[in-house]
């Protein structure tokens, strides 16, 4: 992994450590009205409605960090477990082992996925922070492309994107190490077609 990518990985993990608690706080909608509605009935506040968009992002982020933390832990030498729970704690734990990510074959893939996820979380938790909006890349790994599709509101797995690539349904290229990249615009367009098929009741979405 080159120095720039390693630096960006560290920044991404720090961003997730900083924004993890904020993402959890956004999980429920906050009611600003009074304790009673227009008909005078008491409003039940014990179970506020769940923000499903934030829930999806929260679960996706927890799974991503949990996966890479387990990979780092499996490396053994010098890595002290167990892996903590919650986004902020796992991100802080991973920051201690950047040297491990730098030395393993899958380090670049981990960096790309964590950086992309950190930017999406920051765009939700800190929408008015004054920072630059995360710009979607032209080419991305299957996992990163799936993350952008989910951010656009379509549940697409890394396996589905990979299947599209293998079938020639999205454009592909090779990175410097020979790994496969997909054109993000193609993935988003195909994911959008899937969402349209579901929204309008089409019997079978095109996959």
Residues of the chain with pLDDT under 70: 28-52, 127-135, 176-177, 194-207
DSSP secondary structure string for all residues of 35-50: SB-TTSPBPP-SSPPB
CB of 50 closer than 8 Å to CB of 27: yes
Find the Cα–Cα–Cα–Cα dihedral 22, 23, 28, 34, rounded to 10°: 30
Sheet strands (E) in 21-177: 139-140, 172-174
pLDDT for the residue numbered 135: 64
- In this prediction the pTM is 0.56
CA 140 to chain centre: 13
pLDDT for the residue numbered 51: 54
Residues 70 and 167 reside in one and the same domain: no
Residues 93 and 20 reside in one and the same domain: yes
Residue 181 lies in a domain: yes
Residues 124 and 191 reside in one and the same domain: no
Residues 129 and 140 reside in one and the same domain: no
Residues 121 and 177 reside in one and the same domain: no
pLDDT for the residue numbered 200: 30
Q: pLDDT, tens digit, for every residue of 68-85?
A: 999 999 887 788 888 888
Residues 124 and 153 reside in one and the same domain: no
Tell me how many domains the chain contains. Answer: 2
Distance CA 51, CA 171 (A): 34
Residue 41 lies in a domain: no
pLDDT for the residue numbered 194: 66
Task: Provide the residue range defining the domain that includes 131.
Answer: 1-30+46-135
Closest among 13, 26, 7, 1 to 119, alpha carbons compared = 13
Residues 106 and 167 reside in one and the same domain: no
Closest among 13, 23, 10, 28 to 127, alpha carbons compared = 23
- CATH number of the domain bearing residue 198: 1.10.1660
User: What is the b/e burial string over 123-138, where b = at least 16 CB atoms within 10 angstroms of the residue's CB?
Assistant: bbbeeeeeeeebebee
Using DSSP, state whether 21 is helix, strand or coil: helix
Residues 145 and 128 reside in one and the same domain: no
172 phi and psi angles, rounded to 5 deg: -130, 160
CB of 73 closer than 8 Å to CB of 63: no
Residue 167 lies in a domain: yes
pLDDT for the residue numbered 188: 87
Name 120's Cβ contacts closer than 8 Å, sequence gap at least 6.
Answer: 57, 134, 147, 148, 151
Distance CA 37, CA 28 (A): 19
Residues 154 and 186 reside in one and the same domain: yes
C-beta atoms surrounding 78 within 10 Å: 9
Residues 12 and 54 reside in one and the same domain: yes
Among 80, 114, 135, give the residue marking a domain's end.
135
Residues 148 and 168 reside in one and the same domain: yes
C-beta atoms surrounding 150 within 10 Å: 18
Q: Which residues pair with 180 in a beta bridge?
A: 174
pLDDT for the residue numbered 23: 84
Provide the mean pLDDT of the chain: 76
Residue 38 lies in a domain: no
Q: pLDDT, tens digit, for every residue of 20-30?
A: 888 888 776 44
The vertex-95 CA angle with 74 and 55, nearest 5°, equals: 85
pLDDT for the residue numbered 2: 79
Residues 12 and 86 reside in one and the same domain: yes
CA 179 to chain centre: 20
């Amino acid at each position: 992994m080159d120095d720039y990518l390693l630096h960006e990985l560290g920044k991404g993990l720090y961003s997730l450590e900083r924004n993890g608690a904020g993402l959890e706080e956004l999980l429920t909608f906050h009611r600003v009205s009074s304790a009673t509605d227009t008909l005078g009935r008491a409003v039940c506040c014990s179970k506020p409605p769940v923000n499903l968009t934030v829930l999806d992002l929260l679960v996706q982020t927890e799974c991503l960090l949990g996966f890479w933390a387990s990979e780092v832990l499996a490396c053994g030498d010098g890595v002290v477990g167990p892996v903590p729970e919650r986004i902020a704690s796992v991100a802080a734990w991973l920051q201690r082992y950047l040297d491990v990510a730098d030395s393993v074959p899958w380090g670049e893939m981990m960096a790309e996925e964590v950086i992309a996820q950190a930017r999406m979380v920051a765009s939700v938790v800190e929408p008015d922070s004054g920072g630059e909006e995360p710009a979607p890349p032209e080419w991305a790994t299957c996992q990163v492309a799936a993350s952008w599709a989910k951010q656009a509101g379509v549940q697409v797995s890394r396996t589905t994107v990979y299947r599209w690539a293998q079938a020639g349904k999205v454009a592909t290229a090779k990175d410097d190490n020979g790994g496969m990249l997909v054109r993000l615009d193609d993935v988003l367009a195909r994911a959008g077609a899937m969402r349209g098929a579901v929204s309008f009741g089409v019997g079978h979405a095109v996959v």
